[in-house]
Amino acid sequence: MQQNSVYQPRPKYAWSILSVAAVLFLVALFSFLTLHAQQFLDQVKEDFQMVIELAPETTEKEREEVVAKLKQEEGVESASITFISKEEGLKELSEDLGSEIIDLDLPNPLSDVIQFNMYADDLSSQRMGSLKKQYEGLGAVTAMHYQQELVDQLIYNLDRLKLAVMGMGLLLLLLAIVMIHNTIRLAIWANRFLLKSMELVGASWGFIRRPFLRKSFRHALISGSIALGALAVVGFALMQEVPSLAQYLEIEHVLTMVLIIFIAGIMINVVSTWFVVTRFLRMRTNELHT
C-alpha cells in the first residue's frame, strides 16, 4: 500500500509575496530616509556659522589666544575655526557686490573676524548666549555675532521635523502590520476547510501550523529580497540624477536597513501566519462558511 505523504499545504501565495514585498519596499524606503534624516539635520545645524569680531588694535598674539581658547571650548568644532582678515573680507565682499567697492579707494569698514561652527548636539540658544557673554568680555573682542532668532527657529523646526518623521514611521509600521496580516489571512482563507479537516482527524495544532510557518518564513525572505532589489534600483536611479545623494550613503545605515527589512518581514509574516491559522482552527465548522 502506498504510504501517504506528509501534509504540505499549498495556498496561493503569489499575490501575498508581491503585496508584502510592496509594503516592505515602502518600509525600506522610509527606514533609509529615517536613518539619514538625523545625519541631514545634524549637517544643517553644523553649517550654522558664528562670527567673533576682533578689535582693531588686536595683536597677532591676542588673536591666537582667542583661537586657542575657542579650540578648548566644549561643542566648538575646532576644524571650523577660521581667521578672516579685513582685507580678505573686503575682497570677498567685492566678489559679491562688484569690484567698484575697491575702486572707490575708501577706508576699509570691515574688521578682522574669527568664524567657527558648533557641533549639532551643542547648538542651542543657551550655549550660544553663554559664549557670547564670555567672549565679549575679552579685550581683544569687539562683539560676537549670531542670529539668535534664527538659531531658535532652526532648532525648533528641526525638532518638530524629527518628531514628524518618527510619527510617520510608527504609522507606516502599523499600516504595514495590518496590510501584511490581511494579505496572509486572504492567502490562507482557501485552505480553511483543509485546516479543520486535519484537526478532525487528530492532527495537533502545532503539526498543522508548522508547514504554514515554514512557508511564511521562506516567503518573508523572498519578499524582503524583492523589496531591497527594488529599493536598490530606485536608489541607483536617484543617484544618477542627483549625484550629491551619494555623500549620505553609509554602509552602516545600509546594513541596518537590510536587517530591519528582513527582521520586520519575518516577524510580521510568521506571527501573522500563526494567529491566522490559530484563528481558523478555533472556528467551528459552520463558521467556516461565513
Q: How many domains is the chain built from?
A: 2
Task: Work out the number of other CB atoms within 10 angstroms of the CB of residue 265.
Answer: 29
- The answer to whether position 84 is within a domain reads yes
Helices marked H in 47-142: 60-72, 86-97, 100-103, 125-135
Do 85 and 217 belong to one domain?
no
Task: For the chain, 290 residues long, give each residue's pLDDT as a single digit of tens.
Answer: 444 444 444 445 677 778 778 888 887 777 777 777 777 777 777 888 888 988 888 888 888 998 999 998 888 898 889 998 887 876 776 666 555 555 556 666 678 888 999 898 888 878 888 888 888 888 888 888 887 677 677 777 777 877 787 777 778 778 777 877 777 777 777 777 777 778 777 778 888 888 888 988 998 899 889 988 888 888 888 788 877 767 667 777 778 888 888 888 888 888 888 888 888 777 776 666 65
Instruction: Please tell me the predicted confidence (pLDDT) of residue 46.
Output: 82
Do 117 and 186 belong to one domain?
no
**Gap between the Cα atoms of 21 and 268, Å rounded:** 12
Q: Which domain holds residue 244?
A: 14-42+165-289
Give the DSSP H/E element, type plus range, for residue 177. Answer: helix 148-189
Do 83 and 132 belong to one domain?
yes
Do 276 and 185 belong to one domain?
yes
Instruction: Please tell me the predicted confidence (pLDDT) of residue 171.
Output: 80
Contact yes or no for 83/67 (Cβ under 8 A): yes
Do 174 and 259 belong to one domain?
yes
Instruction: Please tell me the predicted confidence (pLDDT) of residue 276.
Output: 83
Do 202 and 97 belong to one domain?
no
Question: CA dist 102 to 44, 62, 112, 287, Å?
Answer: 34, 29, 17, 90
- The answer to whether position 236 is within a domain reads yes
Do 234 and 261 belong to one domain?
yes
CATH number at residue 80: 3.30.70.3040
Do 132 and 191 belong to one domain?
no
Do 71 and 31 belong to one domain?
no
